[in-house]
Structure 1
Amino acid sequence: MEDKNSEAINQLNKRKTLRKSIKQIYFEYCSNTSIHGIQYFGERRPSIEKLFWLCVFLASIYCCSNLIHCVYVKWNETPVIVSFSEKSTPVWSIPFPAITICSETKRVPREGFSYGKFLQDLQEHVETRRHFQAKNLSRVELEELRTLLHICNPQLIKQGTPNLSSDLIDYFSVLERIQPEFNRYFYFCKWFSHFGECDELFTRTYTNEGICFTFNGLNATDLYREDTVQHQRTVSHNTSKYNIILKRPFKWSLQNGFSLDSGIKTYPARVLGAGSRAGFFIALQSFRQEVDYACRGPIQGFKVSLHSPDDVPQVSNQFVRIPMGKEVVIAVKPNMITTSSGIAEYPPQRRQCFLENERRLRFFKVYTQSNCVLECLTNLTLAKCGCVKFSMPRTLEMPICAENKIFCYDRAEDILLMREFRQGLKEFPLNYLGTTECNCLPACTSLVYNTEISHGNFDLEDMLKATADTSFYEDFPGSQMSRLSVYFKEHQFITSKRSELYGITDFLANCGGIFGLFMGFSILSLVELLYHISLRLWSNMRHLTPS
């Protein structure tokens, strides 16, 4: 009985000792802490004063919490800022823009069969639902007309257009057979102050406009993966065998630039300065008697697209017109965004861009936003139509759309735009990233060529009359000459740079500043609190416990 009473007394003494120790620690902490306002809670003052300081302390905590939340949101949602670089960049440190030129003359008109009449008969067939018969057309002629349906004006092809033949077509071979002679249309070029034939500067490119020709673009073997048709055709047909630029060693990437031992003559090519003398010049030629208005409509001449060398040209989407009998001058102003090493630690969705080799494309070796969108369009077209357009990146096992699928693949691009818009709009209020199904964020290092365009009349006929030169039109009857000049406008340009807006160090420093401003709180204040509720409490209890 006495043992039980003794144990109860000991437990009671321990509770009293603990309460006394906690009370002592509380008053010691209030009188010694560095946190502002706490000392007033430990003083023997009227309750109204303690209530006042309690309200002030809680208001301070509320304001401090709100500001820290704002800092966290900014650090979490916008960790990367794009700002101007401290130094200007010379134009010789970047490649000259790739120039893709497409003639609006897709096939020289011939007697015997007309594309306009063929298209009219086909549209009447779709409207009346009659059986279509290709009258008086050979197999070769039908192949050519079926090919032209894909490149002349696909928007005119109506839904319900039938497949005109079960024979498969090698569209690339047909286009090569019917295209106008290159040296007649690309009359002569000037590059590095050297006048010469254009075939040593241009490479054949297969686009949604048909066969075009590209100056200073990457070779298909450096751009496409090995299992794509574009890569294999370039190797088998050796389409770049005359190009003097593509024979040079490849020592450039968009992220790292040219290697230090590249020299003057590089691949892709670069210029030594600004101005028309250091730029590119080409004389283009069209012929009145070879224009087919039924194919390309009332605007004839050439389409020109300026793009980064590692981009696949999308001439139908972004182009400059070179009309017949005109001179067009394009002054180029580069817009380049580089990347600091500090943002690599952030995931792509936070930094809003992909680093080199971070996003692998199925058909391309090089990631750019343009190439990614083209690949996404190809995948969507294959899913919607069961086939892809002949010009899209593809492998051998992917079926090519015939004329009965032209309406489908033409609509696929509109479907892609609408889908990306709706997904981005739906997610944007809740998710600042606006991530869509294509996942085609910009490349962290990107290069865009902005242009200033001027043009004027190119009166070759009047000039030849003034000089009494009649031989030119004897050799080239019906010629309509055009001229194109492309050059950098300035010797240097200011690049933009992606860098950290808030790193973890900046975030902690901002939080520490806010804590210090509102409460006088620091890391040592936290250590001080932990010390009083652990080590100091235990030490006081030892001294207060009766032996």
Structure 2
Amino acid sequence: MYWNEINPKIQNVLFKFDDSDVKKDRTRAVVRLKTTSTKFVNLFFSSSNIHGFNHLTTEKRHFIERFLWVIAICFCIYGSVVLGTSTWTRYQENPTVISMERDYKEWSTALPAVTLCPINNMDEQKFEEMVEKEFPGYSEDEKQEMKAFLEMLANATYGTFDNVPFYTKITPDHYLTIVEKLQIHVLYTITNSNMEGYALFNLVPTISELGFCHTYNGEISQYNDFNYWMQNNRSILPPAGSLSGTPLDGDVFTQITSMNFGYMGFLHSPHEAPDIANRIYSSPESFYKTLDVTALSIYSTPEIQSLSPKQRGCRYKHESNLELSPIYTYNICRNECRMKQAIKLCGCVPYFYRPTNHKICDVKGMHCLDQYEDYLVKLRNTTGDNSKVNCGCLPPCDDVSYIVEGENTIQWFLGTNLKWGLIKFPKMRLKRNLLFGLTDVLVSIGGTAGLFFGCSVLSFLEIIYFLTLRLFCIIFTKKN
């Protein structure tokens, strides 16, 4: 018999019968679920060794007793959450301590590095050869126009970009390559006193925010080398090494004599790069400059490497998050921040940063940057509140800071000379050490749990057991 042949009244009766059965089944299922859940919660509270829970399910307890125990348990939960959160916040924000060491006879101090940038950094003979080879047929006026442009470009930086004349016959993408071709050939002689790891290094070509320069005793200058950039290399290079000395070595100094150029220079750590915001020590040709330096070191113990950079408040060299370099230093981070601010303000970057996908500033772009010189050099916001730009740059975990206590410049008839060194060795240094580690966090949180609930590790395992294996067994048994 087909369904449509059944009497409609009978169909209605059947539908009502089916609907009522379904509703009854659902009601029974809900009742069974509530009953099972209640039994499961009672089982957990009565068998758990966490203090206070068993009073909620014990028979012959008055309602007021249960209510008071609920209040007590809520208070304990609140107290444990507050203290546990405080402990975790301390671990995340302040787990290290900086202490002072005074056994200065046991350590050596690095000699500061210098970066020298020639004031007139264009070789006229190389310019003539380049014009004959790459721009044949140029008139004398065209040569002079190009020469004036390249002379200003080779020495352009924040504060002097406005001096660069308009010139459109060379595209911005070729600025870096052409300026590198026209560098002067530097002449110099280096002498230094006997130091630990005594060696005579040479001036290493490097690029800074003052253009093409030369660095002595710098370990990371090789990452700002023109050839390294052009190869699009981002590999970690073997350490170049640096000079250092101890109090037993006596006076520690280095001299670069008979230089054939005047310079603008930076004095910085061997593990750092120059920064345009740092103090610049300049000298014209045929002058003798001396710098008397003192130092203060800070180093980090191996234990803090287990912390994140945000927790320890510093970053190791190999933990680079920078676009410009595969290694991290504080000044390179600031260079990158300054580059990003230039993009934000003028839509382009100066040619002396590592080539990336960003647009290189033409003359119009450089003039734009010159309008924001103070904001870019000091990394301040242009909103008028004089606030600093949040660059997110953390200091290095191991570093040496230098203070120039004496500077003297005199005219010298034997070329341009520079002498610098440590006039006295530091008798203290700073140590960044782990004060509150993960073990301390576990002990503190465990003590808090014991104070408020009288529970242990087994108590927490018991909670996991009830919510996983025991719950599964109950559900599986009910289904069967």
Normalised TM-score (structure 2): 0.61
AA in 2 matched with 1:336: I
| 1:490 and 2:419 matched | no
Counterparts of residues 113-128 of structure 1 (less than 5 Å): none
Cα distance change on mapping 1:270 and 1:89 into 2, 3 Å = farther
The 3 A distance-change label for structure 1 pair 489 and 512 is same
Partner of 2:146: 143
Residue equivalent to 1:84:
99
Q: 2:253 aligns with which of 262, 274, 279?
A: 279
Preserved CA contact (<8 Å) 1:95 1:269: yes
Counterpart AA for 1:97: P
Q: Using the alignment, how far apart are the partners of 1:175 and 1:530 within structure 2?
A: 66
Structure 1 residues 535, 171: closer, same or farther in 2, change over 3 A?
closer
Report whether the alignment pairs 1:65 with 2:81.
yes
User: Does structure 1 conserve the Cα–Cα contact (< 8 Å) formed by 2:204 and 2:214?
Assistant: yes
**CA separation in 2, counterparts of 1:355 and 1:394?**
24
C-alpha deviation, 1:64, in angstroms:
2.8
Instruction: Note if contact 1:310-1:366 (Cα within 8 Å) is conserved in structure 2.
Output: no
Report what 1:389 is aligned to. 350
Classify the secondary structure of the residue corresponding to 1:318.
coil
Partner of 2:159: 155
Could you say what secondary structure the match of 2:159 adopts? helix
Q: Following TM superposition, by how much is the alpha carbon of 1:482 offset from its aligned partner in structure 2, in angstroms? A: 6.4
Query: In 2, distance between residues paired with 1:100 and 1:269?
Result: 14
Alpha-carbon offset, residue 332 of structure 1: 3.3
> Bigger shift: 145-154 or 51-60?
51-60
Deviation string 1:233-292 (CA, Å, 9 cap, x unpaired) is xxxxxxxxxxxxxxxxx853xxxxxxxxxxxxxx423233247622223458899xxxxx
Q: Does the CA contact (< 8 Å) of 2:298 and 2:431 recur in 1?
A: yes
Report the CA distance between 1:191 and its aligned residue: 1.0
Structure 2: which 5+ runs fail to align? 1-27, 125-138, 471-480
- How far the C-alpha of 1:392 sits from its partner, in A, is 1.8
Q: Does the 8 Å contact 2:176/2:351 carry over to 1?
A: yes
Distance 1:45 1:407, change over 3 A: same
**Cα separation, partners in 2 of 1:156 and 1:91, compared to 1, 3 Å:** farther
Q: What whole-Å deviation, never above 9, does each CA across 1:370-392 have from its counterpart, x for those lacking one?
A: 22443454466568656543322
Q: 1:354 touches 1:442 (CA, 8 Å); kept in 2? A: yes
Q: Does the CA-based 8 Å contact 1:327-1:483 persist in structure 2?
A: yes
Equivalent of residue 267 in structure 2, options 284, 291, 306 = 306
CA contact under 8 A between 1:333 and 1:450: conserved in structure 2?
yes
Distance in structure 2 (CA, Å) of the matches to 1:493 and 1:383: 43
Let me know the Cα RMSD of the aligned residues: 5.5
The residue aligned with 1:203 is 204
The structural deviation recorded for 1:157 is 5.2
Distance change (3 Å), C-alpha of 1:98 and 1:513: same
Cα gap change, 1:393/1:174 in structure 2, threshold over 3 Å: closer, same or farther?
A: closer
1:96 equivalent in structure 2: 111
Q: Provide the residue aligned with 1:501 in structure 2.
A: 436
1:245 aligned residue? none
Contact 2:346 2:368 (C-alpha < 8 Å) held by counterparts: yes
User: Deviation per CA, 1:464-489, whole angstroms, max 9, x where unpaired?
Assistant: xxxxxxxx5xxx6xx8x765322273
CA shift in 2, pair 1:342/1:37, >3 Å: same
Q: Measure, in 1, the Cα distance between the counterparts of 2:49 and 2:215.
A: 74
8 Å Cα contact 1:100/1:214 also seen in 2: yes
Q: Is the 8 A contact 2:149 2:165 kept in 1?
A: no
Structure 1: runs of 5+ lacking an equivalent: 1-10, 110-135, 233-249, 253-266, 288-300, 427-433, 461-471, 537-547
Q: Deviations over 1:137-164 (max 9, x none)?
A: 74443333213434267536559x8733
Residues of 2 paired with 1:535 and 1:36: CA distance? 24
Report Cα offsets for 1:182-205 as digits up to 9, x if no partner: 44xx6x5431359xxxx9732343
Q: Distance in 2 between matches of 1:388 and 1:46?
A: 77
Whole-angstrom CA distance in 1 between matches of 2:340 and 2:160: 24
Aligned to 1:451: 403
**Structure 2 counterparts to residues 229-378 of structure 1, below 5 A:** 229=230, 252=239, 267-274=240-247, 277-282=251-256, 302-314=263-275, 316-321=276-281, 328-338=290-300, 340=302, 343-344=305-306, 348=309, 353-355=314-316, 357-359=318-320, 361-378=322-339
Describe the superposition over 1:446-467 as per-residue Cα deviations: whole angstroms up to 9, x where unpaired: 423222422357487xxxxxxx
SS in 1 for 2:152: helix
Return the alpha-carbon distance in structure 2 between the equivalents of residues 439 and 310 of structure 1: 19
**Preserved CA contact (<8 Å) 2:51 2:455:** yes
Percent identity over the alignment is 20
TM-superposed deviation, 1:99: 0.9
Paired residue for 2:444?
510
Determine if contact 2:120/2:151 at 8 Å carries over to the other structure: no
CA pair 34-419 structure 1, distance change in 2 beyond 3 A? same
How far apart, CA to CA, are the structure 2 residues paired with 1:455 and 1:82?
35
> Against the structure 1 CA distance between its residues 231 and 311, is the aligned structure 2 distance closer, same or farther, given a 3 Å change threshold?
farther
CA offset digits 1:380-427 (Å, max 9, x no partner):
6568656543322226x97754433312344577369356999xx99x
Aligned equivalents of 1:365, 1:535: Cα separation in 2: 48
Contact 1:285 1:482 in 2 (8 A): yes
Aligned 8 A contact 1:100 1:306 in 2? yes
Distance 1:277 1:40, change over 3 A: same
Query: Structure 2 vs 1, CA of residues 532 and 43 (structure 1 numbering), >3 Å: closer, same or farther?
Result: farther
Deviation of the 1:53 alpha carbon: 6.2
Q: CA 1:489–1:502 in structure 2 vs 1: closer, same or farther (change >3 Å)?
A: same
The answer as to whether partners of 1:329 and 1:484 remain within 8 angstroms in 2 is yes
Q: How many Å apart are 1:216 and its aligned residue? A: 1.4
Q: 1:81 to 1:367 in 2, by over 3 A?
A: same
Q: Deviation at 1:215?
A: 0.8
TM-score of the pair, normalised by structure 1: 0.55
Q: How many residues align?
A: 405
Given the superposition, is the C-alpha separation of residues 399 and 48 from structure 1 closer, same or farther in structure 2, using an over 3 Å criterion? closer
Q: Which AA in structure 2 matches 1:81?
A: T
The answer for the alignment partner of 1:190 in structure 2 is 191
Q: Who is 2:167 aligned against?
A: 164
